[in-house]
Amino acid sequence: MTVDTNVKHIELAEVISQPSDEVLLSQRDFQLVKSVPVNVEVSLGGSTITLEKLFSLKAGEVLSLDKQIDEPINLIVDGNVIATGNLVAVNGQFGVEITEVSE
């Protein structure tokens, strides 16, 4: 491994974020990407357990989660919460009724 000793320090100006009503994607741009598949994950909750407990889990055991049954669940795209909603049943499958969309 070589170490680059030709390092130049730079100063960056601080930028203050200002909300804008400007649309980031125009309708034309959206047409280019609207068919791209996106994986949406649903997070029901989590639990922290020891490695000992993890390795001793057996079929039939119940692991309780940190969310109450009536709390909204998160819809996640690329690690970011994009919406929240309620878990529902749709034609014998799980579904999410969207209650709030993140900005």
Does the domain at residues 38-101 carry the CATH identifier 2.60.290.11? no
**Which tens digits make up the pLDDT trace of 60-82?**
999 999 988 889 999 999 999 99
E strand segments, the chain? 41-43, 73-77, 80-90, 93-101
Give the tens place of pLDDT for each residue, 6-16.
777 777 677 67
What's the predicted TM-score (pTM) here?
Answer: 0.61
Query: What is the side-by-side strand order in the sheet with 41-43?
Result: 41-43, 73-77, 80-90, 93-101
The DSSP letter of residue 54 is: H
| Listed residue (47, 37, 39, 42) closest to 85, CA to CA | 42
Rounded to whole angstroms, the Cα distance separating 64 from 44 reads 11
Dump pLDDT digits (tens) for 1-53.
566 667 777 776 776 766 666 665 566 777 888 899 999 999 989 999 999 99
